[in-house]
Amino acid sequence: MFDHLIEKNRLLPFFQQVGLNDIDIIFVKELIYSEIDGQDNTQVWPYKGRDISKSFLYEIVSNKLTGIDVDKFDYFARDSYYLGTKISFEHMRFIKFYRVIKFDDGKRHLCLRDKEVKACYEIYRIRDDLHRRAYQHPVVKGIELMLREALIAANDYLFFCNAAGRCDTRLAHTIDDMYTFSQVDDHIVTLIKHSYHPNMDKAKEILEKIERREIYRYIGNTHIKFTADFQKKECQNACHDIIKYCHFNENQSHITENDLVIQTVDLTCGDRGEDPIQNMWFYTKISPNKATKISKEQVSTFLPQTFREHDLRLYCKTRDPTVCSIVRCAFKEFCIAKGYAVPKGSDLWMAISPISEQRLTSFAGIAIQVMSKSNKNQKSITSFFKNPAQSATNEPATSKSKSALIPEIKKEPGISKLPPPEPVVKPVVSPKKPAVIVCPTIAKIPNHETEWINLSDRFILTNRNFDVQYAHLYAERLGAMRKMVAKAAENHLGFKSTN
């Protein structure tokens, strides 16, 4: 591309006027990308643009030794500005503490003042933060997957003109010709959207989904060892295994492994995932002309032990909530079977069946909610911890059993008689409305009133404006419910404590 820009803009005569020759052009290429064609990396000094005495110049633009270069300083300042995030790293101050020191082998390296060693770790922390929040965010990578599929679908029907004027170069082949490759910019999306070719409908549909925010549903991710070699074949096998763990009913919509996409994300510090500081040279205030190494133990004991993370992300092309919830549980089972880390938040995942409207959960305590069609505002949840078989019969507690289970409340001075407990209204069970299984919880949701009454080993929850989808957010045990029980006793039994 650099050669194409020189030729297109007719820069060779200008270079000759200012004293730049072919060696200087090679030097610029090596600064941009050190590994160029015809380079012998087995030699002591493989570069051709400059000799070994100028070796420090190759550590400025693209530093292959430590990864700290002005390229990172540039996109740190640019991307943090447009993302609206402030970073604590000051590149101008950092550059002031650089100096060139000659080594015994004849090479010269950029060496940093020893007191700035923590700033080096801060550079890698900022880079990791930008990759997680922006460059490799799950939504960003999901859109990237869809764009890639759209370009693949349009490859055979989108042609570009070469320098000879022949318009027969397909999209995938433009990389071989810099003249046509320079035409592949952001306007390619517009070309696909406004194309009249009938075979471009698939690509146009994918782009329209992106504009409507119908992005592939992000299921979850897990961490695997960085030594694992997850190539295309292994990703396809993983999708096939995850489908095996999906439990669909006969009347439910099924998906295939082609509806799942496995994506690997590799986050590293420096090169090969090793501690990049071990490749850096420092100098001290006492000996400014002598380079030295600084070990991680000399810096701090709070530094990370690993500098590479290999993530496995799963996307589902179907955005149906029921299908996605089943795939989530299948992905969790897949991770457990493979010995991978369990996806975060997977203890709250539930598989939802739209046919039986049943929520399957792994919690020890579950509740059965029966809704009446005649009165949708009347909702009752009966949950259990010790006797699940009794509650599974969908029989709500009667007034007799309620009185027997209510804990004894001591009378306080000034209260002559406690009002009788309110009778429990038996909800109407509709044969066409099956039960919904949820997990017991205290859902602290704005504009939702939730009250718990302690009934020894059982609970009855009287709730107004209760939304089942929030039922799995918070699970509490008996010890954390004392205040709620006291409030419920005050509201339902008329008892008011003087404490």
pLDDT tens profile 227-255: 555 666 777 788 889 998 888 877 667 78
Which residue stretches of 156-262 are H helix? 178-181, 187-193, 201-211, 232-244
Whether 265 and 311 have beta carbons less than 8 Å apart is answered as: yes
CB-count burial class (<10 Å; 0-12, 13-18, 19+) for 474: middle
pLDDT at 479 over 50: no
Q: Which residues contact 31 (CB under 8 A, 6 or more apart)?
A: 49, 57, 58, 60, 61, 62
Whether 330 and 242 have beta carbons less than 8 Å apart is answered as: yes
Question: What is the model's pLDDT at position 205?
Answer: 94
Burial code (b: 16+ CB inside 10 Å, e: under 16) for 435-458 equals bbbbbbbbbeeeeeebbbbbbeeb
Each residue's pLDDT tens digit, 171-206: 899 998 898 998 888 889 999 998 888 899 999 999
Residue 459 three-state SS: strand
Tokens (6 digits) for 119: 């700033």
For residue 328, how many other CB atoms are within 10 A of its CB?
Answer: 22
Question: What is the model's pLDDT at position 306?
Answer: 79
pLDDT at 429 over 60: no
Mean pLDDT confidence for 138-155: 94
Parallel/antiparallel/unpaired status of strands 108-113 and 282-283: parallel
Question: What is the model's pLDDT at position 387?
Answer: 44
Parallel/antiparallel/unpaired status of strands 379-384 and 458-464: antiparallel
Mean pLDDT confidence for 383-406: 43
**CA dihedral angle for residue 463, residue 468, residue 470, residue 476, rounded to 10 degrees:** 60
Cα 97 from chain centroid (whole Å):
36
Domains (range + CATH), the chain: 139-211 (no CATH), 218-269+309-351 (3.30.70.2760), 358-493 (no CATH)
449-455 β-sheet, strand order: 436-438, 366-371, 379-384, 458-464, 449-455
Question: What is the model's pLDDT at position 151?
Answer: 94
Tokens (6 digits) for 494: 């008329």
Residue with the two structure tokens 């009788």: 420
Whether 369 and 427 have beta carbons less than 8 Å apart is answered as: no
The candidate with the shortest Cα–Cα distance to 277, out of 69, 93, 121, is 121
Mean pLDDT confidence for 22-32: 91
For residue 203, how many other CB atoms are within 10 A of its CB?
Answer: 24
pLDDT at 271 over 80: no
**CA dihedral angle for residue 191, residue 193, residue 194, residue 197, rounded to 10 degrees:** 90
User: Measured between alpha carbons, how far is 128 from 108 in angstroms, rounded to an integer?
Assistant: 29
